Amino acid sequence: MTQRVEHTTVMDRLAIDDLVTGYAIAVDDGDWTAYRALFVPEGHVDYRSAGGIAGGVTDVADWLAEMMRRFPVRQHLIVNRRIGIELRDGGAPGDTATVQADYLNPMHLAGPQDAPPATGAGVHPGAAADPRPGVPADLHREHAGAITGASAAPNYTCAGRYAFAARRATEGWRLSEVVVHEKWRQLVPARD
């Protein structure tokens, strides 16, 4: 393998790893525009093993946007990433890749005092302007009570393994498929 091929392979691996990290951040932040942008237009997602749906990226992103309102606080950890890049003749990296990665996803369910999401430019009563740089204002407004830990709602954790498929596109590496294989879940009541 030449030094140039090795360099290309390392750069591809870093880009694919960044793609998976971008996926986790988009889901946790509720940034469904960024989520959609991570996929090729015909991308497919399958969350059925975790009680979700399967379908095209747009339909799944719309479903997630509604479903994740129930979980105002999310922290998606994707670890133990095994990246496999298709190799061309001669050992050069190809244009498709797979990633197998474990996930741990602790979330906080919305409680009765967690006000429903604001509509338009409204802000929940008592919610101040976002004091934390980098946190979208609507996320802070939406989840102000849960972020402070004031909610009595339970915590929910699920874990399992992702199977990602990616391919090289004009814009760089993009996801072509995401399949979740949930292994376990736990609901823990909040402490008084």
pLDDT, one tens digit per residue, over 17-69 is: 999 999 999 999 999 999 999 999 999 999 999 999 999 999 999 999 999 99
- Report pLDDT for 90: 78
Q: pLDDT at residue 127 above 70?
A: no
- Report pLDDT for 186: 92
DSSP letters for the chain: --HHHHHHHHHHHHHHHHHHHHHHHHHHHT-HHHHHHTEEEEEEEE-GGGT--EEEHHHHHHHHHHHGGG-SEE--EEEEEEEEEEE-TTS-EEEEEEEEEEEEEEEE---TTSPPPP-TT---TTPPS--STTS-HHHHHHTHHHHTT---PPEEEEEEEEEEEEEEETTEEEEEEEEEEEEEEEEEPPP-
pTM as predicted: 0.77
pLDDT, one tens digit per residue, over 136-181 is: 444 444 444 444 444 566 888 999 999 999 999 999 999 999 999 9
| Residue 131's pLDDT band (cuts 50, 70, 90) | very low
- Report pLDDT for 154: 81
- Report pLDDT for 114: 57
- Report pLDDT for 113: 60
Higher-scoring residue by pLDDT: 41, 109: 41
Q: pLDDT at residue 5 above 70?
A: yes
- Report pLDDT for 46: 98
